[in-house]
Amino acid sequence: MSLIILSLQLILVPVLSPLFVGLIRKAKARLQNRQGASVFQPYRDLLKLFNKDEVISQDASWVFRFAPYIIFTVTIIIGAIIPLVTTIFSNSGLSDFLVVVYLIALGTFFLALSGMDVGNAFGGFGSSREMTLAALTEGGLIFSLLFLALAAHTTDLFGIAQAVSNLPLSFIVPIILAFAAFIIAMLAETARFPFDNPATHLELTMVHEAMILEYSGKRLALIEWAAFNKLLIFMALGANLFFPWGIAFGTGLIEIVAAFLAFFLKVALLCLFIAVLESSIAKFRYFRLPDLLFISFILSIIAISLIL
Amino acid sequence: MLKMYSKILSTPKTVIDPANFKLDQDVEVVGKKIEEKVKKLFRGSLAIREVDAGSTNACEQELTALSNCYYDVERFGVHFVASPRHADMLMVTGSVSRNMKEALVRSYEATPDPKIVVAVGDDAIDGGIFKGSYAVLDGVKNVIPVDFEIPGDPPSPKVILSYLLKILETLDK
Amino acid sequence: MFGLISAQLAFFLSLGAFLAGAAGSLVFWKNNKAANLWSNILAIIGSLFGLVASLSVILTGAVFSYAISSGSPLMDISLDVDRLAAFFIFVISLIALLASVYGIEYVKHFYKKYNIGALGFFYNTFILGMLLVVAAHNAIFFLVAWEIMSLASYFLVIFENKEKENVRAGSLYFVMTHVGTAFILLSFLLLYSFTGSFDFSVIKANIANVPPLIQSVIFLLALAGFGTKAGIIPLHVWLPSAHPAAPTHVSALMSGVMIKTGIYMFIRIFLDIMPGGPLWWGELVLVIGAVSSLLGVLYALTEHDIKRLLAYHSIENIGIILLGLGSAMFFFAQGMKTLAILGLVAALFHTLNHAIFKALLFLGAGSVIAKTHTRNMEEYGGLIRLMPATAFFFLIGSMAISALPPFNGFFSEWLTFQSLFSGLATAGISMRWVLIFGAGALAFTGGLAAACFVKAFGATFLARPRSEEAKHATESGTLMLVGMGVLAALTLIVGFFAGWVAQIISSIVNGLSAFKKVDVPFVADSSAFHLQSGFAQVSMLIILLSLVGVSVLVFLAVKIFTKDRKIKIARTWDCGTELGPRMEITATGFSRSIITIFQGILKPTKQTSIEYRDAEMRYFQKANIVKLEVADVYGAYLYQPLQDFLTRIANYFKKIQSGNVNAYVLYIFLILIILLLILTV
């Protein structure tokens, strides 16, 4: 049974992530008084991209060609080792929050390298901005997850989900502080407002998009899918680690279905939050972003000092 | 902030019903026949890259209006992209000026197959009011192969959207 | 295998090989090729024996010692190789082996210009000095070996003496290393005066005779002295100029191994000879480690000279090692010896890992420099097509130093994090802040190091060539590739077997008398590495297998699903204009954002000088030169005031030297009177 669940977890994130991105876009469209594309539109986009030919630059090397596979692989592996519906995999040595953070860094590393590989003007500065933001986000991200690890006395993500759901109510204030820090880190890593506008056409304001301007066809599909996966991974971590009520502790069928519904609901709420956020504020000027990331770091330190 | 949310919630819906965009006549294929694999591919999702080959910006304004809350082209699965590498359809506006000829050719070559080229506006079709000038090349079809044309100077967003939907229908047949 | 030859014999054979290498290079002074082959092949033989000796001591516990006393203390030879010394001998021999293999081909670039015999002599003496330093058991002999190591490396730094900046770098290195030696000498003299001997075992046995205040003074002196060699901030000023000046395989040794001898003595003095230190020792080392790692990586980001960039990264990694060591001292002072082992294992593991991947990166940089004849990264570009194997190995080195799984750097940073986290979980309120500062520094350092290596690898190897030289580069020679390839494979292998290596290192730590019979805080079985407290576990095996397996699956799945699609090669999307080499991102431009964000710490300066076509009218510019630099904070605020102060004192005392012989006779007379008075009283 656990093997079935593990293999389900392998495909759950890639299968569901375009749906949630479609949900965010639909919510944003509704807030803009439009109708917007259907929530299943990202699936159609990916399918169409896989069916297109590719044009590859003559300056590109094997780094450009292999990076999308590595970036996509990393998101699949992380999707398999985070708690989505059940916590039965604690103590199996599979997941550790530092492993998750550094695997994400591996994906970002190759994305930045591929941005520099083609030698156009945009890819280079996109890589520069992305690596700067990634470097500064690590502090807030690691420390907000460290808060959870210290509260749960384990760094195993499944164990954290199990332990946090049993914490007394007095922990709610530090959890909210650490969650705020985690949300800021999530917005930075997944290239949403106020760090980056995923729908912009102005290269001067791009961070993530600038690095993928040169990709086409199936490689573009893999990178876009990996970006969707990363968003779902962060939202799943936020939902299941900070507010894990509803997650299944065993493998009973009713439990798993209920956990799945709870997961869906929590992630949909986060999607709505992101959509409302993106409709309320503007993208920040680039040099205001490090202040925001240091705020995330300080918030998690405050949360840690409240529980120690 | 609360004032903004209350405004969002209280504004009435303004999206125009798709029934208003039915085109009476069929849109014909200019140039060579569309390949088989292009059909059925772009009905669900179409990525458009807009190329301004020396236009008066009138067509650009109309194309920009396509994404607003009245016409909302996104609900048909169509969206505008930032790079020709991501695009399926090139919407070219403007009679091609000599300075933009090379840029237009490079945009065309940078777009991966299968692709469609649509010339939007009378200027792009055959030079429009600038036809015969020494500075323009009299229409996109003299530079890159064009598949569809949308007439008008400039065509209103209603006309553009009607033609676009008809093009998608034609591709699907 | 170890039964054939005893550890002691192997060690002496290795010392003998290096001696012969040095002597032989002098014999082959005139013949470049023979000197090159002789010195490097004997270095390889010596390293192989060193590896055998160290592995024999580590794996079978066959520690040995050897002493010859002669009449004068300066000529005493006293060696004692316990497991800790054997570990460092292993690291030295490993890197020396691969640097020598690389050197056989690399040194050919110096044939017509400089004397290879001298290079071979100093190279072998340098490695010999390092081996004697970690094996020494007597303070005087230690200082002799330390001096041999420093002098030999000084001559290697100024080897390319036709460049003035190399000579200047050598002078700075010479002064700084002797300042460090002075501090070390002071600390040894203090120990001698309280324990009556220079021998390390005797000092250890009598350490209770040293009062705690003097122990703290010795701690600070040793920290300053060995810290100068290790390159902690603010004593690091010699590192960024000296390491790039030396020939590259020597830089790899200096950066990968020589600065680790400072770490060796830190462990020896702070955890073996004087293990009972108070809490603030560990906190100070932690703070120094955190500051060094952050500042090291920030300064690395400002560099566009590839070897200076790698030198600053050495400072950063020494900071990370000190974080592990500091947490070990921190736990030890509180009596938590099990957790102290965790910190010490993290520090030692990172020592090994850093030696491997820093040597790999330096050798890669050396290959690039040899082919393009410049150290300036702004003139590289597109080398991945011309030097594919070098680029691949450099990429592996970059991934290892950025602590990306599945390579070895990730595991040692993970261990360092775990030792800091375990401290957070158990520490009292006042001590928490040091650990949070350390963990925060480590978190930011990891990300900034990745950013710096995206810049270094991207500017050097990717996109299009930015200069004529880069367009005509060719692949490195076979032996150079072998040297780099073995190191790259080692990063992967050590990462894969990380749990097993950590267990061996913990047995080394158990060999120290302060940690005898202390429980090891982790368990490494065939698949995963667990901490005993149940706090954390990681499985490098699963990470590697899943990365390889899933990427192969994804590749095949995509290939099958899209097998009808074609790929067309066309020009880069350039928005219709020509893309020149000026349009690519430059190394300077890449890090401009980070420098602007941290401008309070880095203090960047920008000078523009404009040359006009008409100096009076000043309308049209002929040339506009912009100099972007980072202010030399340590020179301005630490060393220059110190130097001014010392010069002022010296000038004051200069008044005694009046030049008048009568005055000198008067001084002698006065001193005689005073001495007679003192001796009679």
Spell out the domain ranges in chain B. Answer: 47-172
Interchain proximity A280–B4, CB inside 8 Å: yes
Minimum-distance CB partner of B45 among A31, A48, A216: A48
Interchain proximity B106–C574, CB inside 8 Å: yes
Interchain proximity A201–B110, CB inside 8 Å: no
Q: Any CB–CB contact under 8 A between A160 and chain C?
A: no
Enumerate residues 87 to 106 of chain B having a beta carbon within 8 A of any beta carbon in chain C: 100, 102-104, 106
Q: Any CB–CB contact under 8 A between C346 and chain A?
A: no
Residue in the block written with tokens 């001014």: C644
pLDDT tier at B31, thresholds 50, 70, 90: low
Minimum-distance CB partner of B83 among C566, C571, C573: C573
Cα–Cα distances (Å) from C411 to C325, C491, C531, in that order, read 16, 11, 13
Q: Tell me: the pLDDT tens digits for B88-127?
A: 999 999 999 999 999 999 999 999 988 899 999 999 998 8
pLDDT number for residue B67: 87
Q: Tell me: the pLDDT tens digits for A172-201?
A: 999 999 999 999 999 999 999 899 988 888
Q: Tell me: the pLDDT tens digits for C467-489?
A: 888 888 888 888 899 999 999 99
Question: Cβ contacts (< 8 Å) between B113 and chain C: which residues?
Answer: 566, 568
Q: Residue C400: name the closest of C458, C355, C455, C347 by CA.
A: C355
C-alpha span between A141 and A139 (Å, rounded): 6
pLDDT number for residue C417: 94
Angle at C660 between CA C657 and CA C665, to 5 degrees: 90
Q: How far is CA C96 from the centre of its chain?
A: 14
Reported as half-sphere exposure (CB side, CA atoms, 13 A), residue C159 has a value of 29
B151 strand-pairing partners: none
Query: Which residues of chain C are under the pLDDT cut of 70?
Result: 1-3, 73-74
C-alpha span between C354 and C359 (Å, rounded): 8
DSSP string for residues in C315-332: HHHHHHHHHHHHHHHHHH
Tell me the two tokens of residue C147: 């001096």
pLDDT number for residue C619: 85
pLDDT number for residue C263: 94
C-alpha span between C454 and A113 (Å, rounded): 6
Q: How far is CA A119 from the centre of its chain?
A: 28
C-alpha span between C313 and C361 (Å, rounded): 11
Q: Any CB–CB contact under 8 A between A196 and chain B?
A: no
C177: helix, coil or strand? helix
pLDDT number for residue C329: 92
Kindly state the helix (H) or strand (E) to which residue C10 belongs, with its residue range.
helix C7-27
Q: Are C585 and C381 spatial neighbours (Cβ–Cβ below 8 Å)?
A: no
Interchain proximity A155–C539, CB inside 8 Å: no
Enumerate residues 367 to 396 of chain C having a beta carbon within 8 A of any beta carbon in chain A: 381-382, 384-385, 395
pLDDT number for residue C34: 87
C-alpha span between C45 and C535 (Å, rounded): 45
Enumerate residues 1 to 40 of chain A having a beta carbon within 8 A of any beta carbon in chain C: none
Q: How far is CA C218 from the centre of its chain?
A: 24
C651, burial (CB in 10 Å: exposed 0-12, middle 13-18, buried 19+): exposed
pLDDT number for residue C672: 94
B92 strand-pairing partners: B51, B119
pLDDT number for residue B34: 60
C529 strand-pairing partners: C524, C538
C-alpha span between A80 and A94 (Å, rounded): 9
B49 strand-pairing partners: B90
Interchain proximity A109–C450, CB inside 8 Å: yes
Considering only CA atoms, give the Rg of chain B.
17
B38 to chain C nearest CA, in Å? 13
Bond into C234 cis (ω within 30): yes
B12: helix, coil or strand? coil
Question: Cβ contacts (< 8 Å) between B86 and chain A: which residues?
Answer: 213, 215-216, 220
- Is the pLDDT reported for residue B36 higher than 70? no
Bond into C581 cis (ω within 30): no
Question: Cβ contacts (< 8 Å) between C459 and chain A: which residues?
Answer: 116
> If one looks up domain B47-172 in CATH, what number appears?
3.40.50.12280
Interchain proximity A48–B41, CB inside 8 Å: yes
Q: Residue C402: name the closest of A208, A135, A93 by CA.
A: A135
Interchain proximity B41–A51, CB inside 8 Å: yes
Least confident stretch, B11-25, B142-156, C121-135, C165-179: B11-25
Q: Any CB–CB contact under 8 A between A205 and chain B?
A: no
Q: Any CB–CB contact under 8 A between A54 and chain B?
A: yes
| Rounded average pLDDT over B49-64 | 91
A26 Cβ neighbours under 8 A, 6+ residues apart: A36, A37, A38, A39
C-alpha span between C280 and C261 (Å, rounded): 23
DSSP string for residues in A63-131: HHHHHHHHHHHHHHHHHHHS-SSB-TTTTSS---HHHHHHHHHHHHHHHHHHHHHT--HHHHHHHHHHH
B163 to chain A nearest CA, in Å? 19
Interchain proximity B106–C566, CB inside 8 Å: no
C-alpha span between A251 and A239 (Å, rounded): 20
Pairing of strands C537-538, C529-531: antiparallel
pLDDT number for residue B167: 85
C395: number of Cβ within 10 Å? 20
Question: What are the sequence ranges of the domains in chain A?
Answer: 2-307
**Chain C neighbors (3+ CB pairs < 8 Å):** A, B
C-alpha span between A203 and A201 (Å, rounded): 6
DSSP string for residues in C356-420: HHHHHHHHHHHHHHHHHS--BGGG---HHHHSHHHHHHHHHHHHHHTT-TTSHHHHHHHHHHHHH
pLDDT tier at B161, thresholds 50, 70, 90: confident
Interchain proximity A124–C551, CB inside 8 Å: no
Q: Residue C487: name the closest of C17, C97, C66 by CA.
A: C97
**Chain B neighbors (3+ CB pairs < 8 Å):** A, C
Judged by phi (left if over 0) then psi (alpha if -120 to 50, else beta), residue B72 lies in: left
Question: Cβ contacts (< 8 Å) between C573 and chain B: which residues?
Answer: 83-85, 106, 110
Q: Tell me: the pLDDT tens digits for C557-611?
A: 999 988 888 888 988 888 878 887 778 888 888 988 899 999 988 888 899 998 8
Tell me the two tokens of residue A226: 């990996």
pLDDT number for residue C171: 93
Cα–Cα distances (Å) from A259 to A4, A79, A231, A270, in that order, read 16, 16, 20, 16
Q: Are A94 and C605 spatial neighbours (Cβ–Cβ below 8 Å)?
A: no
- Residue in A91, A92, A114, A128 to test binding to C, most C beta-carbons within 10 Å: A128
C132 Cβ neighbours under 8 A, 6+ residues apart: C15, C79, C141, C144, C145, C148, C149
Query: Which residues of chain A are under the pLDDT cut of 50?
Result: none
C183 Cβ neighbours under 8 A, 6+ residues apart: C221, C222, C224, C225, C228
C-alpha span between A38 and A49 (Å, rounded): 18
Q: Any CB–CB contact under 8 A between A200 and chain C?
A: no
Residue in the block written with tokens 């050097």: C460
Question: Cβ contacts (< 8 Å) between A54 and chain B: which residues?
Answer: 112
Interchain proximity A280–B79, CB inside 8 Å: no
